[in-house]
């Protein structure tokens, strides 16, 4: 890259990184005060945050972050499930800089296009399963799922079946935070605000074996959970259902890995009733589960795939929908105008960032590594946490993993005694994790990670040791409270 006259000099990059590492340069209290005064954060209790003050992140490198007080943190969550290639990738900054200098923006409306968007669409199609030959770009995962809703309804309209309008989703799924995204999602807390879900979206139970599979084998539970889809189709009327949407592995819901029998049975039911299948791979795509797309891992053949997050490793916002031939052929041959799109659909800078991000994933063989090296190693090491007295159940898939904190262990995961939700044990545990420099997220009493795909075996060891320490500290705290 040194030959590129538009690239920022190495000295400049180094000086920025170095000054960012100097906590003395930051007045944390002043930043927090200004933050509280003016910045309304997403999914946040504003008053509560204002009382505590936000943690100010200032720098990232590889799998580590530094805050404004100089504290180093191991980022077990890849930012928010997205920084797949890790922080501090100068080649992405350079690709973005070059594109900004050349053409920072042009839209794709009015019969125009731009080079990075064309190259990225072709690249994504080459990486995607064979039934995909087209891409619709958006600015985020939420917008991509909005696009899905409009696209599947348009598809059935064009086929002369406008009554096929309903989309079936699942409780505790996450599909974004726009009106359609939040409606497709199955989060009670979100539905409770703003009159959601909108009409025409219904939900079935999630394939959560730990919660719902007591007394059954995992395989039997997977078939049962899939049968809820057929039940719902018959209840709504098979000729009124447009599509089913699901995350291959539920992310925000708590890293819920479905039984092996679940997805093939869902596919069979969708095929039986001719219903479109949408795989929301905003988290699962781009190597997170050891394949470019998790649909390959679970042996399903979706008609639409939602992507975002890992497509740019979060360096610049970008999302979209991979549109399978079944849908694209109808939209193209019979559609006329599709009256939908965004100012930033196919944003040249975002697409340039994605192309460089994908080049890194390919050149460093990160997807393959997660599949056959670091992913299995994480699985083996993460499972050892299952012996901790506070852990009822620990499992992983590729580079997502989760464990359940329980009051009392039992030989069978379903027989563990749970804490009361009101005790907030997950949040207590998360406090110890952050305090010790480990970013691990709490979903109720399930502690979850989704580390950057660049994490090495040695770093996996470092992370597991850190998690174990924090679990010990949490356990001692709960003992002192008399809760265990």
347 interacts with ligand PLP by CB under 6 A: no
Q: Which residues from 132-171 bind ligand PLP, rule CB under 6 A?
A: 140-142, 145
Exactly one of 92, 283, 378, 447 binds ligand PLP (CB under 6 A); which one?
283
The DSSP element (H or E) to which 439 belongs, if any, is strand 438-439
Shortest separation between residue 204's beta carbon and ligand PLP, angstroms: 17
Exactly one of 176, 186, 258, 259 binds ligand PLP (CB under 6 A); which one?
176
Angle at the Cα of 399 (from 398 to 404), degrees rounded to 5?
100
Nearer to ligand PLP, 62 or 79 (CB): 79
C-alpha–C-alpha distance, residues 274 and 161, integer Å: 12
Nearer to ligand PLP, 78 or 114 (CB): 78
What binding mask, one character per residue, do residues 231-250 give for ligand PLP by CB under 6 A, x or -?
Answer: ----------------x---
Nearer to ligand PLP, 42 or 195 (CB): 42
308 interacts with ligand PLP by CB under 6 A: yes
Nearer to ligand PLP, 134 or 175 (CB): 175
What binding mask, one character per residue, do residues 13-52 give for ligand PLP by CB under 6 A, x or -?
Answer: ----------------------------------------
C-alpha–C-alpha distance, residues 478 and 432, integer Å: 12
Q: In Å, how far from its chain's centre is CA 165? A: 27
Nearer to ligand PLP, 350 or 391 (CB): 350
**What letter would DSSP give residue 352?**
H
319 interacts with ligand PLP by CB under 6 A: yes
Nearer to ligand PLP, 174 or 210 (CB): 174
DSSP string, 187-240: -HHHHTTTTPSPTTEEEE----HHHH-TTS-HHHHHHHHHHHHHHHHHHH-GGG
**Residue 96 in contact with residue 354, Cβ under 8 Å?**
no
C-alpha–C-alpha distance, residues 277 and 265, integer Å: 12
Strand partners, 439: 75
Query: What residues contact 478, with CB distance under 8 A and at least 6 apart?
Result: 390, 425, 428, 484
356 interacts with ligand PLP by CB under 6 A: no
Nearer to ligand PLP, 185 or 324 (CB): 185
Three-class secondary structure of residue 4 per DSSP: coil
Shortest separation between residue 69's beta carbon and ligand PLP, angstroms: 28
Neighbour-count burial for 280-307, b at 16+ CB within 10 Å, e otherwise: bbbbbbbbbbbbbbbbebbebbbbbbbb
Residue nearest to ligand PLP (CB): 141
- Contact positions toward ligand PLP, by CB under 6 A? 81, 140-142, 145, 174-176, 247, 251-252, 280, 282-283, 308-309, 319
């Amino acid at each position: 890259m040194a030959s590129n006259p538009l690239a920022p000099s190495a000295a400049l990059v180094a000086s920025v990184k170095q000054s960012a590492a100097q906590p003395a340069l930051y007045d944390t209290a002043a930043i927090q005060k200004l933050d509280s005064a003016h910045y309304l954060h997403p999914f946040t209790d504003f008053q509560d945050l204002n009382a505590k003050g936000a943690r100010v992140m200032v720098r990232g490198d590889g799998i580590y972050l530094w805050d404004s007080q100089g504290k180093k943190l191991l980022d077990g969550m890849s930012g928010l499930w997205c920084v797949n290639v890790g922080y501090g990738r100068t080649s992405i900054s350079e690709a973005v800089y070059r594109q900004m200098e050349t053409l920072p923006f042009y839209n794709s409306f009015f019969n125009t296009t731009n080079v990075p968007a064309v190259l990225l669409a072709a690249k994504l199609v080459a990486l995607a399963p064979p039934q995909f030959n087209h891409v619709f770009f958006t600015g985020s995962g939420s917008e991509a799922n909005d696009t899905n809703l409009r696209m599947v309804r348009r598809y059935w309209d064009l086929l002369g079946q406008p009554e096929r309008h309903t989309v079936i989703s699942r409780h505790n799924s996450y599909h974004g935070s726009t009106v359609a995204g939040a409606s497709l999602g199955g989060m009670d807390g979100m539905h409770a605000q703003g009159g959601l879900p909108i009409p025409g979206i219904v939900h079935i139970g999630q394939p959560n074996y730990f919660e719902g599979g007591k007394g059954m084998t995992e395989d039997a539970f997977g078939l049962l959970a899939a049968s809820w889809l057929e039940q719902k189709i018959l209840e709504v009327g098979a000729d009124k259902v447009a599509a089913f949407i699901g995350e291959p592995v539920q992310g925000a819901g708590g890293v819920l890995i479905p039984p092996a029998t679940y997805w093939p049975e869902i596919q069979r039911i969708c095929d039986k009733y001719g219903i479109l299948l949408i795989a929301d791979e905003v988290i699962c795509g781009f190597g997170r589960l050891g394949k470019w797309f998790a649909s390959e891992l679970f042996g399903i053949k979706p008609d639409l795939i939602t992507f975002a997050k890992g497509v740019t490793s979060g360096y610049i916002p970008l999302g979209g929908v991979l549109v399978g031939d079944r849908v694209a052929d109808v939209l193209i041959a019979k559609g006329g105008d599709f009256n939908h799109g965004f100012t930033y659909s196919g944003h040249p800078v975002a697409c340039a960032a994605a192309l460089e991000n994908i080049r890194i994933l390919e050149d460093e063989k990160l997807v393959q590594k997660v599949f056959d090296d670091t992913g299995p190693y994480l699985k083996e090491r993460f499972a050892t946490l299952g012996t901790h007295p506070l852990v009822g159940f620990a499992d992983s898939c590729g580079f997502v993993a989760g464990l359940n904190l329980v009051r009392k262990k039992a030989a069978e995961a379903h027989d563990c005694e749970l804490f009361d939700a009101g005790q907030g044990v997950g949040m207590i545990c998360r406090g110890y994790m952050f305090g010790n420099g480990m970013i691990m997220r709490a979903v109720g009493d399930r502690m979850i990670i989704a580390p950057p795909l660049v994490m090495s075996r040695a770093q996996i060891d470092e992370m597991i040791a850190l998690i174990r320490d924090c679990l010990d500290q949490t356990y001692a705290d709960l003992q002192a409270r008399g809760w265990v």
